[in-house]
Structure 1
Amino acid sequence: MTTIAVLGNGRVGGGLATALTRAGHQVRVADRTPGAAADAARTARIVINATPGAGSLERLAALRAELRDKILVDVSNATVDGPDGLPVDLLYPGSSLAEQLQEALPGTRVVKTLNTMLFPVMTAPATLTRTPTAFLSGDDPQAKQTVRELLTGLGWHEEWITDLGGIRTARATEAAILFVPHVIRSSGFAPFAISIAR
């Protein structure tokens, strides 16, 4: 059992919190009330960023002390959204939210994952008709191993998880969000994930 704080209680955060609790972890969800995120992060071993990506950097940078020596799992994408609410561009072109978080939080081990799929797939990968891929990006191998174990507890098979390397590789997976509006307009709002076929 691991103590986990989920920052963000929307569809992504709520779904992850429910699945992680079902997997046997002690999970606390922080809403937007003042102090809730700090309190949750302070008592957790792993913190999951499921806040809207456009505001994540400012929100988490304010928790620098609480996030020190913690693993921060970043599942958000920082985008500029169009009138329909779907992403049209990246907020950090030539970089990524994960890189920005790692720079702002040098005492925290940031791992990027689960950001290349619609949210239902994060906790139910086997429901897709084809094998999905979960990518890992981060500078700390031990932190990535811990996150890999979290993912297997959510139903991700070992062979479905691909370690891309350091945190800089997150800019590649974050750019994949630009597929999303086109796929949704083409096929509707049905669960899907980016996958590497071999």
Structure 2
Amino acid sequence: MSGISIVGVGNMARALAARALAGGNAVEIIGRDRVKAEELAGTLDGVTVGTAGAAPAGDIVILAAPYAGAAEVVREYGDALRGRIIVDITNPVAPDLQGLVVPDDSSGAQEIAGLAPEGAHVVKAFNTVFSHVLAAGPAEGRPLDVFVAGDDAQAKARVSAFVAGMGLRPWDIGGLAMARALENVALVELGLMNHSVKHTDFSLGITLLH
């Protein structure tokens, strides 16, 4: 069991909180709008509500907010995130859905890592899973895959164990530089949504052939 602090009050925050609770974790919801945070917590038995800007209760802090907002959260929290594992689930997608708004040699996760205090470890995960798919979980006997990238092996192992405890299947894809690849996978999903699949009731994952 882990202590999980989720920063955000949207659909991904709700899906992550519900699955984390089902996995036996202690869950805290933090939102700039405390009323919305309390409303969300009220729909999930056992969730606590934290105070925006104060030190999170969890040792794993999930940034369940749009990229710009997530980066601002890390700036504001500063040393309160020291020693924490920061899970970046964001996709810094350009308005035209054709690229990313971060430098060509970087990613949203790497930019967030540059803002994090010394001793915090940023791990990329969950950015390729739509919120309603995450909430529903595995379908038709197929596991739901979550890709994990990060530079600290212990932090990745902790996040992978958290993912597995939620009934999902974690895949380590390497260091944090691979986060850009994951963010491009999100662009692929948006392209599928807009041009061929025409909906978001799908997930991308791994099929082992032997």
TM, length-normalised to structure 2: 0.81
* Count of aligned pairs: 190
Whole-Å separation in 2 of the counterparts to 1:142 and 1:123: 27
Which residue of structure 2 lines up, in the alignment, with residue 9 of structure 1? 9
Question: 1:44/1:118 Cα in 2 relative to 1: closer, same or farther (>3 Å)?
Answer: same
Amino acid at match of 2:72: E
- Measured after TM superposition, the shift of residue 130 of structure 1 is 4.9
Which residue of structure 1 lines up, in the alignment, with residue 33 of structure 2? 33
2:179 aligned residue (163, 167, 170): 170
8 Å contact from structure 1 (residues 137, 164) kept in 2: yes
Which residue of structure 1 lines up, in the alignment, with residue 57 of structure 2? 43
Amino acid at match of 1:28: E
Which residue of structure 2 lines up, in the alignment, with residue 62 of structure 1? 76
1:153 aligned residue (148, 159, 165): 165
Partner of 1:179, secondary structure, is: helix
Question: 1:23/1:168 Cα in 2 relative to 1: closer, same or farther (>3 Å)?
Answer: same
Partner of 1:62, secondary structure, is: helix
- Measured after TM superposition, the shift of residue 89 of structure 1 is 2.1
2:155 aligned residue (143, 147, 156): 143
Identity of aligned residues (%): 32
Whole-Å separation in 2 of the counterparts to 1:104 and 1:13: 22
Whole-Å separation in 2 of the counterparts to 1:195 and 1:132: 7
1:194 aligned residue (183, 204, 208): 204
Question: 1:43/1:120 Cα in 2 relative to 1: closer, same or farther (>3 Å)?
Answer: same
Q: Deviations over 1:35-85 (max 9, x none)?
A: 83323x432211001111133212212212111000111111111224xxx
- Measured after TM superposition, the shift of residue 4 of structure 1 is 1.0
Partner of 1:54, secondary structure, is: helix
TM, length-normalised to structure 1: 0.86
Whole-Å separation in 2 of the counterparts to 1:129 and 1:43: 35
* Unpaired stretches in structure 2, ≥5 consecutive residues: 35-49
- Measured after TM superposition, the shift of residue 124 of structure 1 is 4.2
RMSD: 2.1
- Measured after TM superposition, the shift of residue 95 of structure 1 is 1.0
